[in-house]
Structure 1
Amino acid sequence: MSVQAEEEHVAANMRAAGAQSAAQSAEADAAIGRALGKQDPDRLRGEYVDQGSFLYLSEFLPPEATQRLIDAANALMPEVNRNFIPGHKAGGSVSRHTIDRLQPYIAELYRSPKLIAWLEKITGDRLQLSPENDPHAYALYYYTRAGDHIGWHYDTSYYDGRRYTVLFGVIDDSSCILDYELHTRDASKTDEPGAVQYPPGALVLFDGDKLRHRVTPSREGEVRVSLTFEYVTNPNMRPWRRFISNMKDAIAYFGFRQVFRKALQSARAGGGKAGGPA
């Protein structure tokens, strides 16, 4: 093949990839549009505020989008990184870096302008995407063995601003429960316990620094998969916080090779300033 023919072949592949990405982006945004057509943002904003920055919707994503997520979760099973921290958590994870490579529809759903605009109405904050080197920006979490769980915790933000968590139910053939406690950071209110077993297509939204929560252990033969999206109000992260965040992600979720390889690539691309704006 001549140099010219090779260049034309590469260009054609790039055009095809761009067209596919644009089609997936439009499909994802359209799915969110259908989901939002059933929602009353003013009422939901009130519920969110009353519950101390927490909202649960048992039905959110339309069936076709939910099925896309189920198919993606099943296809990514071989990519799951198992992790175990005695006394705190056991389970499996697939980071945004693997998702980008193998199931980009999830990334397009995360970037949906309609979804972000709706989340801003509910939270009252100006939201931004998490930086490209953050493996938690969007990730799948798998509970596939007896005893898989995560103990009580907050989704602590290491960013200079707030970090919001969106959970989607994907697969739930399990007895696992999301237990939570509202108002734990508000001294003027009494802690309020709650629990949900969110089904495929359901949505949970909360401020990561305000909701204390856990997932109860799974039983033998059960399967549970959830998808998380993380949005921030300020994508800057101080270097020492970035190191702590990377260590936590490597040990508890995605493995050292994936986390630190991506972190180094991002640092080189940004002139050594890992954790800077996306």
Structure 2
Amino acid sequence: MHAENDVIAPTSVERSPASLSTTPAAPAPNADRAVASRTRALDTRRLSKDFVDQGAFLYLDDFLAPDVTAQLVQSARGLLDEVNRNYLPGHKQGGSVSRHTIDRLAPFIAELYRSKELIGWLEQLSGDKLQVSPADDPHAYALYYYTRAGDHIGWHYDTSYYDGRRYTLLLGVIDESSCRLDYELHTRNPDVPDQPGSVQIPPGGLVFFDGDTLRHRITPAGANEMRVSLTFEYVTDPNMRPWRRFISNMKDAIAYFGFRQVFRQMAKRGKDRA
């Protein structure tokens, strides 16, 4: 997410030795078949009840098929040189790779994001009709890297700037760290006491939640640690008002992906419509 002394400064993350493996890449699995093989073995009705009872939150420590997790690990290590680092004093430090870079260099992630089996299962959990985020949203699917001592993100909500709700699916990819996802349930429901929790998400683990209702943070990484997570964002209404679009774009440019990545895509969209 960033350089240590600047608000925003693109740079490269140091490659870990494991990323230099010469092992030939395995062919990517079929996303729909891989998801279906896991979801059909789950008690989705019970998990949906858990999701509702926990205020639109669910954690599973083992969700992705092993070959899918292996593909995501390979992609995450292969994108280390594409990481954009950011530093916001008192709030966040780390690195990220947006969907625009993923589209070019790790297309399996985009395939998994659009998996009909995955979206259908998430709809059963949430009770909402879910749509993929618009093509110019860099957060639609993105990788987040914690690779330096102190990398973290402070308490926040995944605020939706869309007219409808936005759900976050967080998938564990690499966890060679002491980082934890700390969270508080029911903070927006005055009739239910806040419920704190904390999990360390293993590779292949899953967290699914309504971004506007879950207060959460990632605790700081230690020295010589590495944590990479993948998030998918799904919406109930893809429309966004112009002033909210401006706020969302500025947030993405400053805190995550850099001005070049965000506004180059905006310029391209405008040119395509011309």
Give the alignment's TM-score, normalised by structure 2. 0.89
Q: Which residue of 2 aligns with 1:204?
A: 207
- 1:90 & 1:206 partners in 2: Cα distance? 23
Unaligned runs of 5+ in 2: 1-26
- 1:154 & 1:224 partners in 2: Cα distance? 20
2:167 paired with 1:164: yes
SS in 2 for 1:234: coil
- 2:40 & 2:87 partners in 1: Cα distance? 41
- 1:63 & 1:219 partners in 2: Cα distance? 27
Q: Which residue of 2 aligns with 1:138?
A: 141
2:56 paired with 1:53: yes
Change (3 A) 1:46 1:264: same
- 2:240 & 2:273 partners in 1: Cα distance? 13
- 1:31 & 1:109 partners in 2: Cα distance? 9
Deviations 1:118-140, CA, capped at 9 Å, x for gaps: 00000000000000000000000
SS in 2 for 1:164: strand
2:254 paired with 1:247: no
- 1:46 & 1:267 partners in 2: Cα distance? 43
Could you tell me which of 94, 101, 106 is aligned with 2:104? 101
- Shift >2 Å, 4+ stretches: 267-271
- 2:141 & 2:147 partners in 1: Cα distance? 20
Deviation (angstroms), 1:270:
4.0
Q: Which residue of 1 aligns with 2:192?
A: 189
1:1-278 correspondence runs (5 A): 27-270=30-273
Unaligned runs of 5+ in 1: 1-22, 272-278
Q: Match of 1:212, as an amino acid?
A: R
- 1:122 & 1:234 partners in 2: Cα distance? 18
Q: Which residue of 2 aligns with 1:19?
A: none
Q: Match of 1:220, as an amino acid?
A: A
Deviation (angstroms), 1:203:
0.4
Q: Which residue of 1 aligns with 2:22?
A: none
Q: Match of 1:190, as an amino acid?
A: P
- 1:38 & 1:181 partners in 2: Cα distance? 29
Deviation (angstroms), 1:43:
0.3
Deviation (angstroms), 1:94:
0.2
Q: Which residue of 2 aligns with 1:4?
A: none
SS in 1 for 2:30: helix
Deviation (angstroms), 1:268:
3.4
Give the alignment's TM-score, normalised by structure 1. 0.88
Q: Which residue of 2 aligns with 1:5?
A: none
Change (3 A) 1:270 1:161: farther
Q: Match of 1:65, as an amino acid?
A: V
Task: Write 1 or 2 for the structure with the bigger share of helix.
Answer: 1
Provide the alpha-carbon RMSD of the alignment. Answer: 1.1
Deviation (angstroms), 1:264:
1.9
Q: Match of 2:123, as an amino acid?
A: E
Deviation (angstroms), 1:40:
1.1
- 2:165 & 2:128 partners in 1: Cα distance? 9
Deviation (angstroms), 1:34:
1.2
Deviations 1:208-261, CA, capped at 9 Å, x for gaps: 000000000000000000000000000001111111100000000000001001
- 1:228 & 1:259 partners in 2: Cα distance? 17
Q: Match of 1:135, as an amino acid?
A: P
Residue-pair matches, total: 248
Q: Match of 2:131, as an amino acid?
A: Q
- 1:64 & 1:88 partners in 2: Cα distance? 35
- 1:189 & 1:149 partners in 2: Cα distance? 29
SS in 1 for 2:188: coil
Range 44-53 or range 27-36, more displaced = 27-36
